[in-house]
Structure 1
């Protein structure tokens, strides 16, 4: 079909960030402090915001590149295999002596979650040996050291996007380099400097998403209604990858948001933190 029907797919997205083993307990409800909730189901699966976004990008566009670090342990080998099988180039993932990062995740019957992260090898992520393709898009998060993220931003010559999660004060030089910052509504409230950022995408769960330019709301898109929610952990990461790819393919802000919302909706229907996704073109067509 002609490019007027399907946007041209951009070059593979490079993602730098965390790679974790998610150990998840799913229960009917989340415990209150000091309380024990029984009857949970335990599972282990690949995770980490960086790895989740790289896998989502690969499933949406056919390929992506990951910059990160894992330990020289069984968990590290398992996570590398999972990424590679999804189409992620793992040649810039370092193997280090620290234990592979681990996230302890509690999920309730509605898909809401509580997470404790043990960074492990993610504290050893470095960009010294990573190649950033000339003009290629780069997506980072804040689960690795922010100085390392700043170095990646300075070395990247193309479009640079930051998923500012978890919510932390952002180094001014890093914020100045960002072509796009992506946050949820809570993070947007917790990081006041985003009000003056050139371009910020904010997700509002069931209320959809919007893009702000220097604090002014310039585009928005409604959420896709989902009746059965299996897991919300991977949805935000899938949204981030989809939005960057959609913008890089030439979609306008509102359509890019709508397509990313549709990807996020598919993600919450899947129990995995790295959910199965259709090609980006499917979501682009579905939201025309």
Structure 2
């Protein structure tokens, strides 16, 4: 297998998910309930787990195709221009009357964040729109990448359609919520973080051993493989025939917003490019590490060249 095949030559990534305008404030600490606290900075950029992952996949070099909805308000062009500028195909991003989805994000000095996401236009996505995207792009796509920020019935519909079309299904189960048992066997790779894995499995995840137990929960239900991400501790891959700890890439943390989206988008792009699973995970880990070194969501998502450079430095240090 070629080490660095051109992603678009191998297959595209179809992303079905949310699109928001991210309103982010930065401050030394988060305010207490009822308190007004002065911050240090403010940004307004493209966001949403679906859009962030589409941007990440596009910057990774994949033929990324976004399926989602935006409003007819002043945020419409902010988000669609952000997708387009990253090389994402937005022919299946539909504009609907009303407001574009909004995420309010607060980031403290340690880089930790909390988020309130208001779906708004994202709730207008429907099965007909998803089906049309599959009709036009399934044959040239290798991977479906989806999350849980859109109505759950639509995520399930996209997974079932992708499985029927023979695409590799990568599910980022965030925000975590219970899924029907019959959907798990249709998922090739599920990528929860510790919190999401705990909410879905009932197993408290606080390190590699408990991550392996949580990963086994998914595999026992038919998932091809579970990749439990452990933030600064790396990730644990669990499949029917192996368990493997993937070590972290150490960086200075500025803002953890969208680190998981960088990871998911580059992971999907690497799989679509034909990389083996270990290589895909290593590239995803590098992308996630780079994302936490910059402020903001979509602005922090790295390009393939940045991932290559970081991995080259890591290899020289080994």
TM-score, normalization by structure 1 = 0.91
Corresponding residue number in structure 1 for 2:239: 213
What is the alpha-carbon distance in structure 2 between the residues aligned to residue 8 and residue 179 of structure 1? 22
Cα contact 1:150–1:173 (8 A) shared by 2: no
Corresponding residue number in structure 2 for 1:241: 265
Aligned residues: 284
What is the alpha-carbon distance in structure 1 between the residues aligned to residue 309 and residue 269 of structure 2? 12
Corresponding residue number in structure 2 for 1:259: 283
Corresponding residue number in structure 1 for 2:64: 64
Match of 2:191 among 147, 164, 182: 182
Match of 2:156 among 147, 150, 155: 150
What is the alpha-carbon distance in structure 2 between the residues aligned to residue 245 and residue 164 of structure 1? 18
What is the alpha-carbon distance in structure 2 between the residues aligned to residue 98 and residue 35 of structure 1? 31
Per-residue Cα deviation, 1:201-257 (whole angstroms, up to 9, x for no partner): 11111101121125x862221111112x22211110010111122233333333322
Cα contact 1:105–1:114 (8 A) shared by 2: yes
Q: CA deviation at 1:97?
A: 1.4
The two structures, once aligned, show a CA RMSD in angstroms of 2.1
Q: CA deviation at 1:62?
A: 4.8
Cα contact 1:231–1:268 (8 A) shared by 2: yes
Cα contact 2:237–2:246 (8 A) shared by 1: no
What is the alpha-carbon distance in structure 1 between the residues aligned to residue 236 and residue 133 of structure 2? 32
4+ aligned runs moved over 6 Å, structure 1: none
Cα contact 1:219–1:253 (8 A) shared by 2: no
1:1-288 pair list within 5 angstroms:
4-9=2-7, 10-129=10-129, 130-132=132-134, 133-134=138-139, 136-156=142-162, 157=165, 158-192=167-201, 194=218, 196=220, 197-213=223-239, 218-227=243-252, 229-274=253-298, 275-279=300-304, 282=308, 286=312
Q: CA deviation at 1:31?
A: 2.1
Please say which of residues 159-168 and 252-261 is displaced more in the overlay: 252-261
What is the alpha-carbon distance in structure 1 between the residues aligned to residue 289 and residue 35 of structure 2? 32
What is the alpha-carbon distance in structure 2 between the residues aligned to residue 101 and residue 23 of structure 1? 11
Q: CA deviation at 1:142?
A: 0.1
Cα contact 2:56–2:303 (8 A) shared by 1: no
Cα contact 2:25–2:41 (8 A) shared by 1: yes
Q: Extract unaligned runs of 5+ from structure 2.
A: 202-216
Please say which of residues 170-179 and 180-189 is displaced more in the overlay: 170-179
What is the alpha-carbon distance in structure 1 between the residues aligned to residue 29 and residue 101 of structure 2? 26
Cα contact 1:153–1:160 (8 A) shared by 2: yes
Cα contact 2:235–2:247 (8 A) shared by 1: yes
What is the alpha-carbon distance in structure 2 between the residues aligned to residue 5 and residue 247 of structure 1? 12
What is the alpha-carbon distance in structure 2 between the residues aligned to residue 39 and residue 244 of structure 1? 36
Q: CA deviation at 1:283?
A: 6.3
What is the alpha-carbon distance in structure 1 between the residues aligned to residue 58 and residue 64 of structure 2? 5
Q: Name the one with the larger helix percent.
A: 2
Cα contact 1:70–1:101 (8 A) shared by 2: yes
Cα contact 2:24–2:105 (8 A) shared by 1: yes
Cα contact 2:146–2:171 (8 A) shared by 1: yes
Q: Extract unaligned runs of 5+ from structure 1.
A: none
Cα contact 2:170–2:189 (8 A) shared by 1: yes
What is the alpha-carbon distance in structure 1 between the residues aligned to residue 54 and residue 153 of structure 2? 21
C-alpha distance 276-145 of structure 1, shift in aligned 2 (>3 A): closer
